[in-house]
Amino acid sequence: MFSESFPTVSVRGVEIPSIGYGTMLFPEPEKAVSLISQAIESGYRHIDTARKYGSEKWVGEAIRNTSIAREEIWVTTKVTEENAKADDFARSVDKSLKTMQLNYVDLLLIHWPQPKVPLSETIGALIKAKQEGLAKNIGISNFTVELIHKAVQLSSEQLFTNQIEYHPFINQDKVLQTCRKFGISVTCHVPLARGEVLKSPQIKEIAKFHKKSPAQVTLKWLIQQKDIIVVPRGLSRGEIIENINLSDFSLSDEQMNMISKLRNRNLRLVDPEVRRPVWDLP
């Protein structure tokens, strides 16, 4: 289904492009549609949005503007923790689809865990959306080891991904191992640590060696790991193109290990007090 020149991750035979375009927070909203369109033109076939981001309308517009067939573009959206109750959840999915003017999304995620609503109710609503054909695949986001176990136990359907913060400055081994155990892929949000990792002298050195940019090396380090997907946001044509062109080089084991050692910095950028769960300690 997707172009052979771009890598994919397969979960029980369903393929998702390993590199998606993130659409959270456009500092210049008037440029959003044009940037998403540039991403599609540059070869991205995976767009990451959420009800919370306010970007669904721009995603829908960019998809309508392109000649690429809808089935060839993977769209992920999310339901916020404020809509964890079954009725609210269903309304949120309905709004997402109406806003994007789509009949279905490829992947629907519970954006954050909601301790005030039984997880069984939210998982039930997630499964219902899949059974009604509104989402082809379902998953979770920002779920810890304990919560992943609970979600798997409660779900009669395969969970496709857990979207978590993962980049070279954070140790996510426990969550990664748990996801692998259950055949759940991992999608990395803030894969570039919002630019922080690009300042690393080690990453810069490896980038110089490969004649690539620090962003390319960072994204390559992520997707070279098993069943890892990334959704970087680029705010210029140059960044957008750079972030998807990762096929013509690979990192040696030594270079992979060198970058893995940077995790001790333990930088967690997405940590909102109002909705964070008790994170797993490294």
Near ligand NAP by CB under 6 A: residue from 24, 68, 86, 154: 24
d(CA 280, CA 40): 36
Near ligand NAP by CB under 6 A: residue from 14, 198, 256, 258: 198
Shortest separation between residue 91's beta carbon and ligand NAP, angstroms: 20
Query: Does 234 sit near ligand NAP (CB under 6 A)?
Result: yes
Neighbour order of strands in the sheet with 105-110: 21-22, 46-48, 74-79, 105-110, 135-141, 159-165, 185-189, 228-230
Query: Does 242 sit near ligand NAP (CB under 6 A)?
Result: yes
Query: Does 151 sit near ligand NAP (CB under 6 A)?
Result: no
Size of the site for ligand NAP (CB under 6 A): 27
d(CA 98, CA 60): 9
* Choice between 48 and 227, CB closer to ligand NAP: 48
Binding mask 51-90 for ligand NAP (x = CB under 6 A): ----------------------------------------
- List Cβ neighbours of 180 (8 Å cut-off, separation of 6 or more): 226, 227
- The three-class DSSP label of residue 129 is helix
Return the bridge partners of 54, or none: none
Q: Where are the extended beta strands (E) located within 55-150?
A: 74-79, 105-110, 135-141
DSSP annotation string for 49-61: --GGGT-HHHHHH
Query: Does 99 sit near ligand NAP (CB under 6 A)?
Result: no
Whether 166 is a known active-site residue: answer no
Which residue among 21, 44, 53, 166 is the active-site one? Answer: 53
Measured in Å, how far apart are the chain's first and last C-alpha atoms? Answer: 38
Residue type, 114: Q
Query: Does 241 sit near ligand NAP (CB under 6 A)?
Result: no
Q: Which residues are near ligand NAP by CB under 6 A? A: 22-24, 48, 111, 141-142, 163, 189-195, 198, 213, 215, 231-235, 239, 242-243, 270
Instruction: List residues with catalytic annotation.
Output: 53
